[in-house]
């Protein structure tokens, strides 16, 4: 039987302005293009899981504005149950204003908006509905105390917890005891453990550091190289897939969704990291975060083609 996935986290609308150059303070400049893209790490992971045919629910908050409506619609369009997304009338939807200049450099301002209002009371209100789910995906774009509160409470019911510790920040020791899986990239694991990852030994030591703190299994995302799997049973680098990467935005979110979905289908750890590598790789093959996130058939035929080639 397929297990059910619940994502608890952020929903953002990315507002992207393309111009030849950035304006000076006080200057008004004519830009060239404007685009809006659904984003936020929570929303990205939920959409990626939805495309992979998971039974997935999003728990989060948006504001009572046009972006909030669009984000909810986008979740539903991608097969995500959105009745756990609350429309908070006192605040804006979370947004990121992204300016891109002619050289492709960017400047970003993020306003957490409704994401910042996700408090423990909201978790309590949602909790009964959440208990119908098995595997929980968290990230760090909602208040940290809410993440700790929710994870601790879910653990009391024996739920499976996957934390993507992104964006990078320090975490209180307490949280590690509640994590079945943590999925940092190189920068995030360095932030958490103080250890730079130059060699396989570094990866093992940083992974062991987190496991000593109480984490079950560490999955260290290594970009095109794939990911390390560090558990009590095993230490291995599970190689990534070779693709023509165009934009790696959202690769980590796609990876996490792929990992969760594969676990939900009852696959083992090695196979699930392999599957996550495929989802992450495919997500880099076009511009944008959600734009290139693959569906189930795409991932399966991609993995099968890779197996035949060898």
Of the candidate residues 80, 85, 150, 281, the single one contacting ligand ADP (CB under 6 A): 281
Which H or E run contains 13? strand 12-18
**How many residues sit close enough to ligand ADP to count as binding (CB under 6 A)?**
20
The residue range among 65-73, 127-135, 237-245, 290-298 that interacts with ligand ADP, by the rule CB under 6 A, is 237-245
Is 253 a catalytic site residue?
yes
CB 178 within 8 A of CB 155: yes
Does 140 engage in binding with ligand ADP (CB under 6 A)?
Answer: no
Instruction: For the CB of residue 240, give the shortest distance to ligand ADP in the complex, in Å.
Output: 4
Sheet holding 33-39, edge to edge: 33-39, 12-18, 94-100, 106-111
Distance CA 88, CA 272 (A): 36
Instruction: For the CB of residue 73, give the shortest distance to ligand ADP in the complex, in Å.
Output: 26
Does 72 engage in binding with ligand ADP (CB under 6 A)?
Answer: no
Of the candidate residues 133, 136, 178, 255, the single one contacting ligand ADP (CB under 6 A): 255
Query: Which DSSP state fits 130?
Result: H
Write out the binding residues for ligand ADP, residues 87-116 only, by CB under 6 A: none
18 vs 168 by CB, closer to ligand ADP: 168
Sheet holding 5-8, edge to edge: 80-88, 56-63, 5-8, 135-138, 160-163, 181-182, 217-221, 227-230, 235-238
Three-state SS annotation for 198-260: CCHHHHHHHHHHHHHCCCCEEEEECHHHCEEEECCCCEEEECCCCCCCCCCCCHHHHHHHHHH
Does 236 engage in binding with ligand ADP (CB under 6 A)?
Answer: no
Instruction: For the CB of residue 174, give the shortest distance to ligand ADP in the complex, in Å.
Output: 24
Q: Which of 83, 101, 253, 295 is catalytic?
A: 253
94 vs 165 by CB, closer to ligand ADP: 165
13, 49, 92, 131, 160 from 163: Cα distances, Å: 22, 15, 26, 18, 10
63 vs 184 by CB, closer to ligand ADP: 184
Does 270 engage in binding with ligand ADP (CB under 6 A)?
Answer: no
155 vs 224 by CB, closer to ligand ADP: 224
CB 45 within 8 A of CB 7: yes
Give catalytic residue positions.
Answer: 253
Contact residues for ligand ADP (CB under 6 A)? 166, 185, 221-224, 226-227, 240-241, 243, 245, 248, 251-252, 255, 277, 280-281, 284
């Amino acid at each position: 039987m397929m297990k059910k996935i619940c994502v608890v986290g952020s929903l953002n609308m990315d507002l992207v302005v393309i111009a030849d150059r950035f304006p000076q303070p006080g200057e008004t400049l004519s830009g060239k293009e404007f685009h809006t893209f659904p984003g936020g790490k929570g929303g990205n992971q939920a959409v990626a899981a939805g495309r992979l045919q998971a039974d997935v629910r999003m728990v989060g908050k948006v504001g009572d504005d046009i972006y909030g409506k669009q984000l909810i619609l986008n979740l539903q369009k991608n097969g995500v149950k959105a009745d756990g997304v609350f429309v908070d009338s006192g605040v804006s939807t979370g947004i990121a204003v992204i300016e891109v200049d002619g050289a492709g450099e960017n400047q970003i301002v993020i306003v957490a908006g409704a994401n910042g209002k996700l408090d423990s009371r909201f978790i309590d209100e949602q909790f009964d509905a959440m208990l119908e789910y098995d595997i929980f995906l968290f990230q760090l774009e909602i208040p940290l105390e809410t993440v700790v509160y929710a994870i601790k409470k879910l653990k009391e019911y024996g739920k499976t917890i996957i934390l993507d510790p992104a964006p990078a920040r320090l975490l209180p020791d307490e949280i590690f005891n509640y994590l079945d899986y943590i999925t940092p990239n190189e920068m995030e694991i360095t932030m958490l453990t103080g250890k730079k990852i130059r060699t396989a030994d570094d990866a093992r030591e940083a992974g062991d550091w987190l496991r000593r703190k109480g984490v079950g299994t560490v999955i260290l995302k290594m970009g095109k190289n794939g990911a390390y799997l560090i558990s009590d049973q095993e230490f291995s680098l599970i190689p990534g897939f070779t693709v023509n990467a165009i934009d790696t935005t959202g690769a980590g979110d796609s990876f996490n969704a792929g990992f969760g979905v594969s676990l939900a289908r009852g696959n083992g750890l090695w196979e699930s990291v392999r599957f996550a590598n495929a989802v992450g790789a495919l997500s880099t093959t076009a511009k944008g975060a959600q734009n290139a996130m693959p569906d189930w058939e795409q991932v399966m035929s991609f993995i099968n083609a890779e197996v035949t080639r060898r």
